[in-house]
Structure 1
Amino acid sequence: MARPFRRYSAGARWYDVLSGERWVYRAGRVAGIGLMDLQAGDVVLDLGCGTGLNFPLLRRAVGEAGHIVGVDRSADMLAVARARARREGWSNVTFVEADAAELDVDGLRARIGAATGRATADAVLTTYALSVMRDGAAEAWRRAVALVRPGGILAVVDMQPPTGRWRILAPLARLACALGGADIHARPWRLVARDAAPGSVREAAVRGGHIVAAVGRSPGEVAPTARS
């Protein structure tokens, strides 16, 4: 994981411009966050938050009463994310510099409690991050899910080779993933189907199937609008 991480971190300053966000990858964020059906006041854990590209969409969904907890291993990426939050005047964002695969669950639970008065998050979202984490992805996801309340939201947005008539763009997709250190064949959204309550999973594919968003509910008896 060290080599992809160094590549990912080194480009923090230019990531938003060079990552294809505007033309390709923002569509996945919009699709995934749309499927989450977040409510005003929700607490969302953004795992592998990078430069904070999810923040505007999440902030719009949870409002001033909600809270975003952005976790990333890269101090350089978090510096850009912090600058974004300062520029927009968002005071309801907590930043955590940590390797997601080694996340201190109890420590982060305490930080969530201190910031929001709740012991758990209402949702976890990870976009284009688990495919970069590679061998650490399953453990990172396990720890993040442990921080979500029963009945909370589990969401993954990530990449695969384009399908159908979009297959002609597969070489470009593979190149983009290689440059970013991502495994285009990882398909980490399958973790949502594995861990979510039966019948709760919804998926959406955009950009010729290159991007897949999967959203489900954490097992439990708590109603979707309840708070922990």
Structure 2
Amino acid sequence: MIPIADKYSTFARFYDAMSGEYPVYHAGRNIGISLLRQRPGAQVLDVGCGTGLNFSLLQAQVTQGGTIVGIDRSPEMLVQARRRAERNGWTNIILIQADATALSPAEIGSRIAAEGGRARSDAVLATYALSLMADWETAWANMVSLATPEGSLCVVDMQKPVGLATVLTPLAKAACWLGGSDINAHPWTAVKRDCVDVKAASARGGHLQIRAGTRRAGT
């Protein structure tokens, strides 16, 4: 089996076409980013940004006066993200190759600052990224530390469908297996633990789980 990092590097050029984005996964991004409610001029950190599928939704909130920082461990995925930004004329995007589980918040923050952004962001999100990481708790802790003291945090990820949609469980499990995600990771549970004013939503028969909140004081 191809390691996750190699898989995303190998198929980066074809990721958007293969990912099932608009039939399934765009719905979770749309809901999660709408819950962030960022103002024009805000800085948003997109952890595991991949090819930049969140960028258009984030641009609608922060506008060109704001900043979008995309972090991904795969340089090939970041090439696609950069092409997306250039194609759309987005000049307010900072892209950084980094492993969110390996670098400290100080290291990531200093790299963002070196590129013209701020070390801490008004909002930090991860969409379908944490369940790819064996040590997603470390990535989440870094996300919290990289948010401003009253910053917004959002996790969008996957689980087995529920209710009548359980008949689709084999398809959901196959999609996660192909992508390298752990369908049982449930990383959104950390949002309730470490945030206040948490808003919860789901889509696609419960397969997509969305949580957004405000960083809890002292975290």
Q: With structure 1 as the length reference, what TM-score do the two structures score?
A: 0.91
In the alignment, what sits opposite 2:98? 98
Q: Does 1:20 align with 2:20?
A: yes
Opposite residue 178 of structure 2, the aligned amino acid is L
After TM superposition, the structure 1 = structure 2 runs for residues 1-228 of structure 1, keeping only pairs within 5 Å, are 3-115=3-115, 118-133=118-133, 135-197=134-196, 200-220=197-217
Distance 1:98 1:118 in 2: 16
Opposite residue 92 of structure 2, the aligned amino acid is N
> How far apart are 1:7 and its partner, in Å?
1.9
Structure 1 unaligned blocks of 5 or more: 222-228
- SS of match in other structure, 1:41: coil
> How far apart are 1:3 and its partner, in Å?
1.7
Greater RCO, CA 8 A, separation 6+: 1
Task: Check the 8 A contact 1:202/1:215 in 2, yes or no.
Answer: yes
Opposite residue 23 of structure 2, the aligned amino acid is W
Runs of 4+ aligned residues of structure 1 deviating over 4 Å after TM superposition are: 114-117
Number of equivalenced pairs: 217
Structure 2 unaligned blocks of 5 or more: none
- C-alpha distance after superposition, 1:162-205 (max 9, x if no partner): 111111111111000000000011110011111113xx101100
> How far apart are 1:10 and its partner, in Å?
1.7
> How far apart are 1:121 and its partner, in Å?
0.5
Distance 2:18 2:113 in 1: 36
Task: Check the 8 A contact 1:148/1:218 in 2, yes or no.
Answer: yes
Note closer, same or farther for the CA distance 1:132–1:44 as it changes in structure 2 (3 Å cut). Answer: same
Task: Check the 8 A contact 1:67/1:116 in 2, yes or no.
Answer: no
Q: With structure 2 as the length reference, what TM-score do the two structures score?
A: 0.94
Task: Check the 8 A contact 2:67/2:117 in 1, yes or no.
Answer: no
> How far apart are 1:116 and its partner, in Å?
5.1
> How far apart are 1:114 and its partner, in Å?
4.5
